[in-house]
């Protein structure tokens, strides 16, 4: 069996876990229709996904392995084009992936991330001081006032982003993850993203600092024997284009487009996923007070909270896109399918996190003592494993612990089921997290 009637993915992501469960029941690979009419295969189930993520027959390079993209049948007009048009380490294949990942990897070693703990604690405490000034009992949106601010401040500092770029980037990233966005708005948002990132690079070339942007610019410019300024940011740098340097960037440390696209990846991944993760941890502890008690009694750690949150609510629901380099057989017996060469592949992290074959029949329940809490794929697996995973875990564990230490009687201001979620089938998080802050600890 190679074809089946496609299932239409909900672009708003309003019930991602019901959708993931349905697709998992259909088999390890299910034909789906993505927003904009593109068909592909959703891969479900933890073990199938693990194998797929390390299979050399699977590529993330649309320019080499997606015929519809190469031939122009799908182009910049596709609402999700930005997810495949970028040319960075996450969309690269084989040796190209190694080349693009190497300049970035040194910034995310465990030692360097551990050294960021004092600054993360300082920023978190500053934000909590601001929250402490809110009159007790007054509802406050904790997503906006804390979960959003903490990773954003850290990412801005890490990448040396000037304050003038903060507001535009916030708006752009929101549109980046909005998978119900119109094609016209998606194109406009992508163009604004490139303009904003070009401005950032020009600023950092003029004002270098001790930050990731400057480091990547240096790696790029030194490979050209002195650099070419921002000359490579012309017509060839937009979504759906080829490499702006004319040689495809092959062999160079980084092409100008690859420089921009790596920064796009690193900033968006370092911001949106961490916000979602922090909100999930807070929400699950507030709606499951017995779980919070386990942590406070020393029977589980804040790190356990983070892992269980990652398992149960992966910050990214689906991973777009991969492509079959050759025909790939998936499953056995009646569930056997063949993913044809050149077909798009979508990885369902939501399916893996609640796979009953791994996490048991109660996989939908939040349990910080769950033996399999760390056996998730929310940061990927194999060569494309998320470089920022250690930093995201640290930001979340530190931030959530300090929050509950400062406000031990924190409580939700709305019912959990009434909390609005991000309208996206890629980003998995809350749009708002209204709470009431109570600083004093109850007696008894």
Count CB atoms within 10 A of the CB of residue 125.
12
Give the per-residue pLDDT at 261. Answer: 85
Residues of the chain with pLDDT under 70: 1-4, 223-253, 439-444
Give the per-residue pLDDT at 225. Answer: 59
Give the per-residue pLDDT at 99. Answer: 83
Indicate if 395 belongs to the active site. Answer: yes
Give the per-residue pLDDT at 236. Answer: 35
Indicate if 386 belongs to the active site. Answer: yes
Is the distance from CB of 275 to CB of 287 less than 8 angstroms?
no
Q: Which residues contact 120 (CB under 8 A, 6 or more apart)?
A: 150, 154, 394, 395, 398, 399
Catalytic residue among 96, 256, 258, 272: 272
Give the per-residue pLDDT at 253. Answer: 62
Give the per-residue pLDDT at 224. Answer: 65
Residue 443 maps to a domain: no
Residue 199 maps to a domain: yes
Mapped onto helix, strand or coil, the DSSP state of residue 131 is helix
Give the C-alpha distances (Å, rounded to integers) separating 377 from 14, 48, 204, 315, 426.
Answer: 21, 11, 35, 11, 15
Catalytic residue among 274, 351, 424, 427: 274
pTM (predicted TM-score): 0.88
CA dihedral 147, 152, 153, 156 (to 10 degrees): 170
Give the per-residue pLDDT at 89. Answer: 87
Q: Which domain holds residue 97?
A: 7-436
Cα–Cα distance, 190 to 131 (Å, whole number): 34
Q: Mind giving me the DSSP string for 38-90?
A: -EEEEE-SHHHHHHHHT-TTEE--HHHH-HHHHTTSS-TTSTTTHHHH--STT
Indicate if 47 belongs to the active site. Answer: no
Q: Mind giving me the DSSP string for 146-202?
A: IITHHHHHHHHHHHT--GGGHHHHHHHHHHHT-TT--HHHHHHHHHHHHHHHHHHHH
Catalytic residue among 386, 392, 396, 413: 386
Indicate if 19 belongs to the active site. Answer: no
Q: Residue 421: beta bridge partners?
A: 430
Give the per-residue pLDDT at 389. Answer: 92
What's the number of domains the chain is made of?
A: 1
Range list of H helices, 315-443: 349-353, 356-359, 389-406
Residue 444 maps to a domain: no
Mapped onto helix, strand or coil, the DSSP state of residue 229 is coil
Indicate if 222 belongs to the active site. Answer: no
Question: What is the per-residue pLDDT across 244-284, written as a single tens digit (0 to 9) for each?
Answer: 333 333 445 678 888 888 888 887 777 788 999 999 999 99
Give the per-residue pLDDT at 230. Answer: 35
Cα–Cα distance, 439 to 421 (Å, whole number): 27
Residue 1 maps to a domain: no
Give the per-residue pLDDT at 239. Answer: 37
Q: Residue 321: beta bridge partners?
A: none
Give the per-residue pLDDT at 179. Answer: 80
- CA 132 to the chain's CA centroid: 30
Catalytic residue among 21, 81, 145, 269: 269
Q: What's the CATH number where 145 sits? A: 1.10.630.10
């Amino acid at each position: 069996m190679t074809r089946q009637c496609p299932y239409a993915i909900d672009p708003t992501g309003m019930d991602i876990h019901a959708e993931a469960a349905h697709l998992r029941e259909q088999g390890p690979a299910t034909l789906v229709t993505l927003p904009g009419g593109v068909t592909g295969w959703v891969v479900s189930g933890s073990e199938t996904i693990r194998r797929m993520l390390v299979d050399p027959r699977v590529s993330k390079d649309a320019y080499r392995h997606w015929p519809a993209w190469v031939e122009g049948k799908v182009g910049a007009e596709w609402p999700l084009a930005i997810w495949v048009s970028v040319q960075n380490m996450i969309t690269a294949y084989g040796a190209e992936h190694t080349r693009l990942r190497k300049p970035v990897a040194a910034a995310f070693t465990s030692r360097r991330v551990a050294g960021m703990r004092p600054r993360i604690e300082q920023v978190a405490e500053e934000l909590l001081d601001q929250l402490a000034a809110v009159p007790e009992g007054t509802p406050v949106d904790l997503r906006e006032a804390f979960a959003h601010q903490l990773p954003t401040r850290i990412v801005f500092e890490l990448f040396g982003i000037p304050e003038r770029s903060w507001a535009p980037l916030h708006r752009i990233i929101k549109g980046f993850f909005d998978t119900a966005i119109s094609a016209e708005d998606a194109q406009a948002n992508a163009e604004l993203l490139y303009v904003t990132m070009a401005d950032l690079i020009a600023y950092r070339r003029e004002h270098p600092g001790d930050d990731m942007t400057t480091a990547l610019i240096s790696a790029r410019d030194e490979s050209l024997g002195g650099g070419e300024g921002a000359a490579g940011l012309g017509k060839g740098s937009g979504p759906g284009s080829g490499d702006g340097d004319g040689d495809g960037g092959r062999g160079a440390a980084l092409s100008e487009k690859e420089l921009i696209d790596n920064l796009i990846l690193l900033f968006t991944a370092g911001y949106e996923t961490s916000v979602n993760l922090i909100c999930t941890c807070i929400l699950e502890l507030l709606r499951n007070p017995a779980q919070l008690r386990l942590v406070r009694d020393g029977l589980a750690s804040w790190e356990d909270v983070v892992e269980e949150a990652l398992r149960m609510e992966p910050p990214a629901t689906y991973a777009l896109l991969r492509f079959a380099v050759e025909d790939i057989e998936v499953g056995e017996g009646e569930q056997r399918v063949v993913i044809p060469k050149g077909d798009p592949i979508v990885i369902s992290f939501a399916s893996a996190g609640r796979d009953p074959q791994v996490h048991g029949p109660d996989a939908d329940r939040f349990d910080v003592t769950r033996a399999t809490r760390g056996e998730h794929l929310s940061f990927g697996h194999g060569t494309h494993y998320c470089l920022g995973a250690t930093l995201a875990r640290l930001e979340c564990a530190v931030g959530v612990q300090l929050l509950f230490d400062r406000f031990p009687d924190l409580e939700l201001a709305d019912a959990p089921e009434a909390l609005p979620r991000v309208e996206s089938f890629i980003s998995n998080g809350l749009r708002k997290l209204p709470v009431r802050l109570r600083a004093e600890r109850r007696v008894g």
